[in-house]
Structure formats: structure tokens, C-alpha cells
């Protein structure tokens, strides 16, 4: 039995992985989809990238078994930070159309100008949170802007995790992750997979996504 910790992308909660969680748990695996602080029913005050990383670290430390960390989109920042702090407890880190940062990077620095404009427009109401784009699920919540802006602090320990994989969604235009996929598919330390769907892999391709994740169980 493997233990999966699932970290959603911007504006989403653990519910974004409902179909994937069901597929993994039906195969006998332990699944923990997380709703990070500020993205549930509680206020977003004080939530930043470091706090989200610490929440995943606490989930990792909650059991003595190694965990497989899965991050979608923004979640890639969070799982990298958590793996950097607890690399010995991590069996694999899997990025689903997600940011893979180096030390000092942020979502803001890694993303495209179109996404930066979206963040600015979404933050007009209070300057603290970014409203979810209108096409997203109604359960989405305003995302704490600090998590998009804060630079990550990494020692490089996360690279000691033996298994690292990127799943790229190549069925949409304007992806910040296409160049990343092209670079990592030539890197012998990485596994790469491609799906012909748009960005929201957990919702648009849950069966294919789950089949890939099960390879790492």
C-alpha cells in the first residue's frame, strides 16, 4: 500500500482530487487530499507559501511510512518545499502540469505574463487575495496572493528524492509548463508523461492521471 498526499493548484481545495482519490483508494492505497490554509471556509489571512509548505510537511510527518507527493500547478511549489525539508520521508514527487522551482523562484517569476495579468486583475478587490477565474468550479476560493509572490527557500535536498516525475498537459495554449516538459524529458533523473488535455488534469483526465500515479505506488 502506498501513501499519496495530493496538493491542489491555485483556488482549489482537496475536493479537486475527488475522482483521483477514489481511483487510488479503490486500489488499496492511502490518499490524503489537502485543502491548504485560506482555501477552505476559513479566512485567508496570514497564508503564504511557507505556511502551505509547512502544512504539507506536517502531513508527511503524520505517519511513519514514506509518502508520494503529488502537486498540481501551484501545488508544485508546495511539494518541492516540503520535499526539501523531508526528503528522506518522500518516495516520489510528481508534478501535474506544475511549477518546479529552484531556490529563490516564485510562481510570479516562473509564470507567463498572461498569468501575471490574471493575478493582478484578480487582486483588485482587496490586494490580498486573487479571485478565481470565472470558468472555474464554483467551489473555488480566492487564493492568497502571498503564496504566488513569495520566493521559495530551498537547500536542494528535494533533488535527493529518487523518483521525480512531470505530467504535462499539452492540450492547451499559453501553458507555462511546455518548456519545462521539453527540458525535463531530456533529463535522466526525471520521468515525463504527456496528456492531451487542458491544464486541469485532475478534472479533465482523472482516469489517465490515476493510471500514471499508480505506476509509482
Q: Is 73 a catalytic residue?
A: yes
Query: Cell numbers 493582478 label which residue?
Result: 120
Q: Would you mind telling me the total number of residues written for the chain in this entry?
A: 217
Question: Of 21, 37, 73, 210, which residue is the catalytic one?
Answer: 73
Report the catalytic residues. Answer: 73
Amino acid at each position: 500500500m502506498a501513501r499519496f498526499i495530493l496538493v491542489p493548484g491555485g483556488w482549489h481545495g482537496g475536493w479537486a482530487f475527488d475522482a483521483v482519490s477514489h481511483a487510488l483508494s479503490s486500489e488499496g492505497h492511502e490518499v490524503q487530499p489537502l485543502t491548504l490554509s485560506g482555501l477552505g471556509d476559513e479566512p485567508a489571512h496570514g497564508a503564504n507559501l511557507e505556511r502551505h509548505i509547512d502544512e504539507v510537511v506536517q502531513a508527511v510527518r503524520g505517519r511513519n511510512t514514506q509518502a508520494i507527493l503529488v502537486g498540481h500547478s501551484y501545488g508544485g511549489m508546495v511539494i518541492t518545499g516540503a520535499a526539501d525539508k523531508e526528503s528522506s520521508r518522500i518516495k516520489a514527487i510528481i508534478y501535474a502540469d506544475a511549477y518546479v522551482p529552484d531556490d529563490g523562484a516564485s510562481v510570479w517569476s516562473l509564470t507567463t505574463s498572461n498569468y501575471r495579468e490574471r493575478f493582478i486583475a484578480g487582486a483588485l478587490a482587496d490586494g490580498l487575495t486573487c479571485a478565481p477565474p470565472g470558468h472555474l468550479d464554483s467551489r473555488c476560493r480566492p487564493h492568497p496572493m502571498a503564496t504566488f509572490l513569495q520566493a521559495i527557500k530551498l537547500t536542494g535536498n528535494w533533488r535527493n528524492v529518487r523518483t521525480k516525475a512531470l505530467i504535462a498537459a499539452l492540450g492547451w495554449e499559453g501553458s507555462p509548463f511546455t518548456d519545462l516538459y521539453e527540458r525535463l524529458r531530456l533529463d535522466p533523473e526525471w520521468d515525463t508523461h504527456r496528456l492531451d488535455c487542458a491544464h486541469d488534469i485532475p478534472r479533465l483526465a482523472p482516469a489517465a492521471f490515476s493510471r500514471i500515479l499508480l505506476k509509482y505506488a
